Amino acid sequence: MTDSPLSISFLRHLHQPFYKNPDSEFYKLPWVRLHGTKKHLD
């Protein structure tokens, strides 16, 4: 075995459903932007 350091990466995935309607370019639910950024700005 070698004495090289072990690199570890922790990834956090916040599941955010895609509520944007591809036909009209509008979001289906009005709270999507607030809900998606709430935990990131707290």
pLDDT given for residue 24 in this prediction? 83
Per-position b or e across 2-27, b if 16+ CB within 10 A of its CB? eeeeeeeeeeeeeeeeeeeeeeeeee
> Mind listing the pLDDT tens digit for each residue in 1-42?
678 898 998 876 666 667 777 888 777 765 656 666 666 555
Q: Is 36 exposed, middle or buried (0-12, 13-18, 19+ CB in 10 A)?
A: middle
> Does this model's pTM top 0.75?
no
| Domain map (residue ranges) of the chain | 18-42
Cα–Cα nearest to 29, from 41, 37, 20 = 20
pLDDT given for residue 23 in this prediction? 87
pLDDT given for residue 34 in this prediction? 64
pLDDT given for residue 27 in this prediction? 72
Q: How far apart are CA 26 and CA 9, in angstroms?
A: 35
